[in-house]
Amino acid sequence: MAPMRVTIIGTGYVGLTTGTALAYFGHEVTFVDKNPEIVERLRAGVPTIHEAGLAEIMEAGRCSSVFRTDIPELSGTGVVMIAVGTPSKRNGDADLSFVDAAATEVADLVQPGARLVVVNKSTVPVGSARHVEGIISRRLAARGVEAEVHVASNPEFLAEGRAVLDTLYPDRIVIGTESPIATGLLRELYAPILEQTFEPPPGSPRPERYELPPLITTTPTSAELTKYAANSFLATKISFINEFSVLAEKVGADITEVARAIGLDQRIGPRFLQAGIGWGGSCFGKDTAAVLALGSAYDYDLQLVRSAVEVNRRQRMFVVDKLQQQLKVLRGTTIGLLGLAFKGNTDDMRDSPALTLVQELHERGAVLRVHDPVAMPSAKRHFPDLPVEYADDEVQLACGCDAVVVVTDWDQYRRLPLERMAAAMRGRLVLDARNLLQRQSVTAAGLDYVGIGR
């Protein structure tokens, strides 16, 4: 493989993981983030996000990685990836201001004669490839610079907590562009993944029976819509099983058994059928909002997506109401929340269901104590006003609690020290909002078990 020059703009979950993998393959990667603290930590070799296997490949690719707060001059042939945030605007639409700023900075640094592929890696609405192309070509014309800049949409499908595995062993790679040169350069860039020619890092082994990922080449618009369709579908699948979890409870069925039985149908598939407190995270909420905004711009109501969002909102409240039903009066009770992160294996708390629980239960007068294996430092940093007490471990969390709620599906919560927790608690209730625990183990410790839809 001939090493290529890559500039990554934005070193969050997507930029850092993608760039690190590319450096691991031997490409020369410049990481740019405007946050100097992030750049300083990365220069010191310290990962700024909690992702299994990331430190290992960062270290292995260190000699091919440069970290900076500004974009260098862009000359010769190379790939520039825009991986900045695209948060929701008030109307749900994606806010492209970070993308616009990055594209403008890129355009100002393109040198005469350069041959670049600029990639939208961020999740962006349809038309964004053309939009970025317009920003760059107008700027180049204003500067009087002649250069070849090809724009492509290359959406990212990694999930947090398994970002390295998803990057090294994706289900597919999607490239949307009108430019055969962009397709060719990106095919070359991703050749180690497409052909699986790299040595798997010991901490992130190649999954058994992994098949080479297809490269889907399409138009920018189809690539952009693919990303929103994928996230909307996954969010809907979870909302579907959550909607049935409430019905299962009403009719006396067990949703975990129903989910297993339907998931064995190959047309349905077993993943994303875990009922619980509903989905959270930085993307499903903002991307479903962006899809709805896109539909409304075309005077088209996406009823399924709208319902998936509504069912998700209701599911979080279903957990709050369940607690209220069990404890009758929440004011003055002490409730322990196991987990702050929006899912296990990450320290990310963006749109975490735990935040809804904290807010709702606090408003109803409960005293809240929380524990999370990794997200507590990020909670203290990003949510300094969270009205909670932090516990060092699960037993300290349980001490004097009227109820304990499993909020995040951390693996370690499957093996809770239930007897010690029971001895420390004031009440008996364990509300398993992730259906993570075995009812028998909880009741054997003398506690009452309540799950979701079982």
What's the Rg (C-alpha) of the chain? 24
28: helix, coil or strand?
Answer: strand
Give residue 179's Cα distance to chain centre. 30
Give Cβ neighbours of residue 370 (< 8 Å, ≥ 6 apart): 336, 337, 340, 354, 358, 376, 379, 386, 388, 389, 390, 391, 397
Q: Is 223 in the site for ligand NAD (CB under 6 A)?
A: no
For β-strands 389-390 and 148-153, DSSP reports them as unpaired
Q: How far is the CB of 223 from ligand UGA (least distance, A)?
A: 14
115-174 residues near ligand UGA, rule: CB under 6 A: 123, 156-160
Encoded amino acid at 78, one letter: G
Q: Is 18 in the site for ligand UGA (CB under 6 A)?
A: no
d(CA 314, CA 308): 10
Q: Is 273 in the site for ligand UGA (CB under 6 A)?
A: yes
Q: How far is the CB of 292 from ligand NAD (least distance, A)?
A: 16
| Binding track, positions 324-343, relative to ligand UGA; x by CB under 6 A | ------------------xx
Position among 6, 33, 288, 366 found at the interface with ligand NAD (CB under 6 A): 33
By beta-carbon proximity to ligand UGA, the closer residue of 64 and 288 is 288
Q: How far is the CB of 161 from ligand UGA (least distance, A)?
A: 7
11 makes contact, choosing from ligand UGA, ligand NAD, none, with CB < 5 to 8 Å by partner type, with ligand NAD
196-235 residues near ligand UGA, rule: CB under 6 A: 231, 234
Give Cβ neighbours of residue 52 (< 8 Å, ≥ 6 apart): 161, 162, 164, 165, 203, 204, 345
Give Cβ neighbours of residue 208 (< 8 Å, ≥ 6 apart): none
33 makes contact, choosing from ligand NAD, ligand UGA, none, with CB < 5 to 8 Å by partner type, with ligand NAD
Q: Which stretch binds ligand NAD (CB under 6 A): 9-17, 388-396, 411-419, 422-430?
A: 9-17
| Binding track, positions 49-88, relative to ligand NAD; x by CB under 6 A | ----------------------------------xxxx--
Whether 103 contacts 213, CB under 8 Å = no
Output the six-digit token pair for 189: 């860039």
Q: Is 85 in the site for ligand UGA (CB under 6 A)?
A: no
371: helix, coil or strand?
Answer: strand
For β-strands 5-9 and 367-371, DSSP reports them as unpaired
Instruction: State yes or no: is 283 an active-site residue.
Output: yes
Position among 38, 168, 185, 337 found at the interface with ligand NAD (CB under 6 A): 38
Q: Which stretch binds ligand UGA (CB under 6 A): 124-132, 202-210, 274-282, 371-379?
A: 274-282
Q: Is 238 in the site for ligand UGA (CB under 6 A)?
A: yes
Q: How far is the CB of 124 from ligand UGA (least distance, A)?
A: 12
d(CA 83, CA 8): 7
Q: How far is the CB of 353 from ligand UGA (least distance, A)?
A: 7
Q: Which of 129, 110, 145, 229 has the alpha carbon at shortest distance from 183?
A: 129
Q: Is 276 in the site for ligand UGA (CB under 6 A)?
A: yes
d(CA 272, CA 262): 12
Position among 4, 18, 29, 34 found at the interface with ligand NAD (CB under 6 A): 34
By beta-carbon proximity to ligand UGA, the closer residue of 433 and 447 is 433
Q: What are phi and psi of 70, to 5 degrees?
A: -135, 155
Position among 15, 92, 176, 280 found at the interface with ligand UGA (CB under 6 A): 280
Q: Which stretch binds ligand NAD (CB under 6 A): 23-31, 97-105, 360-368, 374-382?
A: 97-105
Strand order in the sheet with 148-153: 65-68, 28-32, 5-9, 77-82, 115-120, 148-153, 173-176, 215-218
Q: Is 308 in the site for ligand NAD (CB under 6 A)?
A: no
29-48 residues near ligand UGA, rule: CB under 6 A: none
9 makes contact, choosing from ligand NAD, ligand UGA, none, with CB < 5 to 8 Å by partner type, with ligand NAD
Q: What are phi and psi of 312, to 5 degrees?
A: -65, -40
Q: Which stretch binds ligand UGA (CB under 6 A): 139-147, 210-218, 279-287, 364-372?
A: 279-287
Kindly report the number of other CB atoms within 10 A of residue 175's CB atom.
21
d(CA 300, CA 291): 10
Whether 385 contacts 411, CB under 8 Å = no
Residue with tokens 């524990």: 371
Neighbouring C-alpha atoms within 13 Å toward the C-beta of 290: 24
Our CA angle for 69, 133, 95, nearest 5°, is 65
98-117 residues near ligand NAD, rule: CB under 6 A: 98, 101-102, 105
By beta-carbon proximity to ligand NAD, the closer residue of 126 and 418 is 126
Q: What is the longest distance spanned by two Cα atoms in the chain? A: 77
Residues with a known catalytic role: 283
For ligand NAD, the binding residues (CB under 6 A) are 9-15, 32-35, 38, 83-86, 98, 101-102, 105, 122-123, 156, 158, 160, 282-283
For ligand UGA, the binding residues (CB under 6 A) are 123, 156-160, 231, 234, 238, 272-274, 276, 279-284, 342-343
